[in-house]
Structure 1
Amino acid sequence: MRRAALLLSALLAAPAGVPAQVDTAAAARDAAEQLATAGERLADTGEGASERIAALSETVRAYEEGLEALREGLRRVAIRQQTLQDELDGRREDIAELLGTLQVMSRAPAPMLLLHPIGPLGTARGGLLAADVTPALQAEVAELTTALEEAAELRALQDSARRTLEEGLVGAQQARAELAEAASNREDLPRRFAEDPVKTALLIASTETLDAFASGLASVVDQELRNIIPDAAERKGTLRLPVQGSVLRGYGEADAAGTQRPGLVIAAAPRALVTSPAAATIRFQGPLLDYGNVVILEPAPDVLFVVAGLAEAFGQAGQVVPEGAPIGLMGGVTPSADAILSGAANGGGANRSETLYLEVREGQETVDPLDWFDRSAT
């Protein structure tokens, strides 16, 4: 009995097998519901060009948020599952020894269990100790049972997540394809000016830096059509970044090669949707220097947002796009369901392998983009 009590005391003094539980499974289930909602949106995207593009943009964003939430939920599930397994493994020997001692005790005649070599006083103390041990032992058994049940639930959740992921990835791919087609053929947007393609080509050929190109943009205007001038100046400091991601390098920070750029480098997921942070005039759209596809927006008079590194770019120079309008897609290849599950099992977070470059110019000078964008969202 004394041996059993010592073992049980050691178990109870160890870290609890199930700490204050955070419902990690709920996070994954909520993400699955987000993806289901995105699928419903995809089936009902409206008929008008403007309505359809807006609905498809919301659908793609919903898929992106749902998939990222599911990745995070599965990552938390994997961490919780490994924690449970480590705790159970760490206590395996103590539990086995305790169970062995109790098994020996169960084979002894009941009256003999309470006898003690030092006499009646020791026997009385043994009885009190047994009364204390029994409820604690029951609590320990209940705790271990809860841990095992939770581990089984987490394993089942991981198994069911595969189908949810596969459906979500297919839906996101379909939504992006439909959005790209609709946005590329969009003709319903108001126009502020007509572009002279020859002047644009000459400007591209004659400039070697982004600074020089941005400074010469005014020369490519062929004709002013309407006095439509969006002005986002009043919302300075509150705008949303053009892509869902995280800032890798800030304004003027050097990269691994020591190169400094006067803009932000944002890590984003493959094929992520890029949108206009505010209502703005498209001043340029197309390949430029070594920046890949570039979209230059004018959200306020004499203010330019340079968005570079797109795999696909939408819109035409002179068009005025509303806030949240799609202006392009990131490159890369969306990981498969197996890759996402494997990454989650290894503790990996969201896959943000693509980078978007964002530069803000006021007049002829570059400024820190975070002066315009919500810093809390970075």
Structure 2
Amino acid sequence: MLIRANSCPIRALAAAKVSRVPWAKGRQAYFGRRKNKQSLDAVEKAAFFVTLDETEQGYRKEDPVTSMDTYAKSLLHGSCYDRWFDKTFTLVVFKNGKMGLNTEHSWADASIVGQLWENVMSSDCLQLGYTEDGHCKGDINQNIPFPTRLQWEIPEECQEVIERSLCTAKSLADDVDFYSFPFDTFGKGLIKKAKISPDAFVQLSLQLAYYRDMGKFCLTYEASMTRLFREGRTETVCSCTTESCNYVQAMEDPTQNVSSLQQFMINSHHFISIWIAADKHQHLYRLAMTGAGIDRHLFCLYVVSKYLGVESPFLKEVLSEPWRLSTSQTPQQHINLEKNPEFVSSGGGFGPVAADGYGVSYILVGEHLIHFHVSSKFSCPETDSHRFGKNIKQAMVDIIALFGVGMNSTK
């Protein structure tokens, strides 16, 4: 399904995610018969959605920070009427030839979409290739049908519903504070020389960064895949542990310096070392991957309690704490970046889960680069995505310094 970004804002009906009621009622009242039903059926039976966006996006050397933030926000929500958020994914093609994806989350997780797009890029560029004049190699299919313009009948009262949905969606989108940045001081190559899991290293860095940013700890969500199981989706790794808190507090002890902290790591009779904190994180990750996590089991109990009409004080308490730090990693798998460095990806991101929290997505790109996406809400006076991003960078540098491995050794 292909649509131009500056046409009718019907798609805003699917963008107001605070409540799905207006869209549900709108479908029943205005899209259940005649032209509107036929056009909506054509949209919903399409495999995916394509938007030809009239804006220019992408990384610009002269303005690296703003350009990446704008690029990310455009893919996240656009103008709120130029993406069909109910579709599996929207392929967004910008005016300057840059492109990206906006993905609906219920059908698959981000890693699935990342693998899909990597496979498309690798097969298109590395296997099929292009001619000298820039066209794709291969035979032209003459039987592809021409585009058909969809017809809609939008009465005034339906237009009012659309405008209200658009206003709600724009309010949500304008509140997103997004910071997308590359961290190239070192990457997983150097982290592995320190004999620590790269994911555990990043998660411990996020714990230190959050403590410095907010002055406290919080319930932390890290997504773990459960694809060892049929139809498995995700489980939660609770990255904020007693071990990670002890380590962060040792890092922030004003009586400690790098030398004493290095000794503290070697001799951990009285403190929990970073390795113990990292090992705990890896243990929790393995439990989550193998079905021994707790969050999805709690959710199942919650669903059953609702079905049975049983009030559970236990569930009410354990499920009431918000995920103020929600994190996820999107792995890169198909493309060999050492041989094809031009395929470096910035990964993808998402909005904050809690109104007073942060959303952090990261991708370990090759051996020498980690790209972060940090989100929060402008309406929260306590959070600031760019401030938190700076704290993440500093935390990464401070922790790697303890291992005595040179940051230039990977260059």
Structure whose residues are more often helix by fraction: 1
Q: TM-score, normalised by structure 1?
A: 0.25
Structure 1 or 2, whichever has the larger Rg, is: 1
